[in-house]
């Protein structure tokens, strides 16, 4: 009995020791966690305090009206990069295009250097504080209408690095002029450019230069009427009133997708021309049908020609679409003229028969003789009329061959010339861009 009681007492003692140890461990864990939270909170407060101190330090005595390098009289170089988000609304009539993009710049301002603390990589400035930092006065020369995005906040950002490097990005959308050469329209290629300059600083104060990767485009970028080609960058420093200003430009090659024009312009016009040839197979006496067909094709061709050129500017040179529509109109009009000529040839015999019928006389002479028994003069006239009627039929037969043959030769020449030919204006513009580059 005594032994049993001793065993139970020993078990209770062990249990008490275990509970005591667990209690100590729990207190230690809670204490450690509390200490860690205190340290983390203190670290966060320290970082925030350090950021605030840095922002206060770099803005104290900083004058955003004075550009960097002003004291040393050395120009500041701003590396520019464009990130194209979208290109849309390329207009042939107004010769401009719409673009949305990020304009990114990077330069060094030795007045903004600071010592990093606690792994701080850069200072991210609020949009309101950006106005207190000097930025290059960049503007787009060929801009017609542009705006900054402000929904839901102004789309601008600025990062300042410990060595004084400043990264500045802003989102801009607008419409920009594009000098188009429409000699080959709609089989043409255009080069639209963007020209950026400093508005007030000369090259002694500011130099704009392209970044190592000058232009990037969004992988989702697509154009409905054009195929986007190569993008080239150039340096185009200019002189205004004897003062040199910094300038950079980029140009993008846009090849027109003419599948739309083949479906909407070329195929319908070809079908109208083919329809005008149907009159060659109609009887020469089917005057109402041939006149209706000829006038219908001429009017339809005229309407389509006006519609195809309605969105184009009134330029002084001849475009490919002008050549095509004019030739198609000439073909359908020539088919109508051919019918008029055939009708004149065939109408002589018909007039003679109608005259005889109106007099109430049979097609014989007054003595009851037939054409075979007529004098040689009347026989000659009869055969002459028959020859004219046969000649009219032969004209129709010849037109069935000549018209398609000439139209086929025209198509061969047209597509060969306008696919491989380059206008002198386009060649001169490309040479000028190469010289700038």
Residue whose C-alpha is closest to residue 297's, from 266, 268, 262 = 268
Q: Which string of DSSP letters, residue by residue, matches 131-184? A: GGS----EEETTEEEEEE--SSS--EEEEE-TTSEEEEEEEEEEEEE-----TT
Considering the domain architecture, whether residues 221 and 292 belong to the same structural domain is answered as no
What rounded mean pLDDT belongs to the chain?
Answer: 82
Considering the domain architecture, whether residues 313 and 397 belong to the same structural domain is answered as yes
Q: Is residue 8 part of a domain?
A: no
Q: Is residue 40 part of a domain?
A: no
Considering the domain architecture, whether residues 313 and 221 belong to the same structural domain is answered as no
Which residues neighbour 414 within 8 Å (Cβ) at sequence distance 6 or greater? 320, 323, 324, 327
Please report, for the domain that includes residue 277, its CATH number. 1.20.58.390
pLDDT at 319 over 60: yes
pLDDT at 322 over 90: yes
Q: Give residue 389's pLDDT band: very low, low, confident or very high (50, 70, 90).
A: low
* pLDDT at position 72: 80
Q: Is residue 266 part of a domain?
A: yes
* pLDDT at position 390: 75
Domain ranges, residue 266 = 260-356+385-435
Q: Is residue 417 part of a domain?
A: yes
| Count of CA atoms in the C-beta half-sphere (13 A) of 301 | 28
- Arithmetic mean of pLDDT, 9-36: 52
Please report, for the domain that includes residue 71, its CATH number. 2.70.170.10
DSSP state at residue 319: P
Q: Give residue 219's pLDDT band: very low, low, confident or very high (50, 70, 90).
A: very high
* pLDDT at position 50: 67
Q: Is residue 250 part of a domain?
A: no
DSSP state at residue 263: I
d(CA 354, CA 435) in angstroms, rounded, equals 79
Considering the domain architecture, whether residues 408 and 265 belong to the same structural domain is answered as yes
* pLDDT at position 120: 79
Considering the domain architecture, whether residues 215 and 324 belong to the same structural domain is answered as no
Burial class (CB in 10 A: 0-12, 13-18, 19+), 321: buried
Which residues neighbour 236 within 8 Å (Cβ) at sequence distance 6 or greater? 195, 247, 248, 249, 436
* pLDDT at position 89: 86
Considering the domain architecture, whether residues 177 and 55 belong to the same structural domain is answered as yes
Poorest-confidence range of 127-131, 220-224, 365-369? 365-369
Over the stretch 155-165, which tens digit does the pLDDT of each residue have?
999 999 999 99
Q: Give residue 33's pLDDT band: very low, low, confident or very high (50, 70, 90).
A: very low
Q: Is residue 38 part of a domain?
A: no
Considering the domain architecture, whether residues 135 and 277 belong to the same structural domain is answered as no
- Arithmetic mean of pLDDT, 284-292: 86
- Arithmetic mean of pLDDT, 6-20: 58
Considering the domain architecture, whether residues 215 and 266 belong to the same structural domain is answered as no
Considering the domain architecture, whether residues 166 and 282 belong to the same structural domain is answered as no
Over the stretch 86-112, which tens digit does the pLDDT of each residue have?
998 899 999 999 999 999 999 999 999
Structural domains in the chain (count): 2
Over the stretch 44-62, which tens digit does the pLDDT of each residue have?
444 556 677 777 777 788 8
Considering the domain architecture, whether residues 285 and 419 belong to the same structural domain is answered as yes
pLDDT at 435 over 60: no
Residue whose C-alpha is closest to residue 215's, from 180, 250, 181, 186 = 250
pLDDT at 141 over 90: yes
pTM: 0.75
Residue whose C-alpha is closest to residue 180's, from 234, 231, 235, 254 = 254
Q: Is residue 27 part of a domain?
A: no
Considering the domain architecture, whether residues 300 and 412 belong to the same structural domain is answered as yes
Burial per residue of 61-74, b for 16 or more beta-carbon CB atoms within 10 angstroms, e otherwise: eeeeeebbbeeeee
Considering the domain architecture, whether residues 150 and 293 belong to the same structural domain is answered as no
Q: Is residue 319 part of a domain?
A: yes
429 or 223, which is more confident: 223
């Amino acid at each position: 009995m005594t032994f049993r009681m001793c065993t139970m007492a020993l078990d209770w003692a062990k249990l008490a020791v275990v509970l005591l140890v667990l209690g100590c461990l729990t207190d230690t864990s809670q204490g450690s966690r509390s200490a860690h939270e205190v340290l983390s909170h203190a670290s966060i407060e320290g970082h925030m305090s350090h950021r605030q101190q840095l922002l206060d330090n770099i803005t104290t005595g900083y004058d955003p009206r004075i550009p960097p390098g002003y004291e040393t009289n050395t120009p500041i170089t701003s590396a520019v990069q464009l990130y194209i988000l979208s290109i849309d609304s390329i207009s042939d009539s107004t010769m401009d295009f719409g673009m949305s993009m990020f304009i990114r710049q990077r330069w060094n301002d030795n007045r903004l250097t600071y010592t990093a603390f606690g792994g701080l990589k850069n200072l991210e400035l609020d949009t309101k504080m950006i106005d207190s930092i000097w930025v290059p006065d960049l503007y787009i020369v060929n801009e017609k209408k542009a705006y900054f995005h402000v929904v839901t906040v102004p789309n601008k950002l600025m990062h300042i690095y410990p060595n004084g490097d400043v990264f500045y990005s802003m989102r801009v959308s607008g419409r920009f002029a594009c000098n188009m050469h429409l000699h080959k329209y709609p089989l043409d290629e255009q080069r639209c450019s963007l020209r950026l300059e400093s508005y007030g600083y000369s090259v002694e104060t500011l130099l704009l230069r392209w970044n190592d990767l000058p232009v990037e485009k969004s992988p989702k970028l697509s154009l409905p009427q054009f195929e986007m080609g190569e993008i080239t960058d150039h340096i185009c420093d200019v002189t205004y009133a004897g003062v040199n200003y910094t300038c950079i430009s980029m140009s993008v090659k846009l090849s027109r997708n003419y599948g739309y024009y083949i479906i909407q312009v070329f195929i319908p016009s070809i079908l109208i021309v083919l329809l005008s040839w149907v009159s060659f197979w109609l009887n020469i006496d089917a005057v109402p049908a041939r006149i209706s067909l000829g006038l219908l094709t001429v009017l339809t061709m005229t309407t389509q020609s006006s519609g195809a050129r309605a969105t184009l500017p009134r330029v002084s040179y001849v475009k490919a679409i002008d050549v095509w529509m004019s030739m198609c109109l000439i073909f359908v009009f020539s088919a109508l003229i051919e019918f008029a000529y055939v009708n004149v040839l065939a109408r002589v015999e018909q007039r003679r028969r109608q005259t005889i019928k109106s007099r109430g006389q049979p097609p014989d002479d007054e003595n009851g003789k037939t054409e075979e028994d007529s004098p040689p003069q009347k026989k000659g006239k009869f055969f002459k009329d028959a020859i004219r009627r046969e000649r009219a039929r032969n004209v129709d037969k010849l037109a069935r061959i000549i018209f398609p043959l000439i139209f086929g030769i025209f198509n061969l020449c047209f597509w060969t010339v306008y696919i491989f030919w380059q206008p002198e204006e386009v060649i001169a513009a490309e040479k000028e861009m190469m010289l700038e580059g």
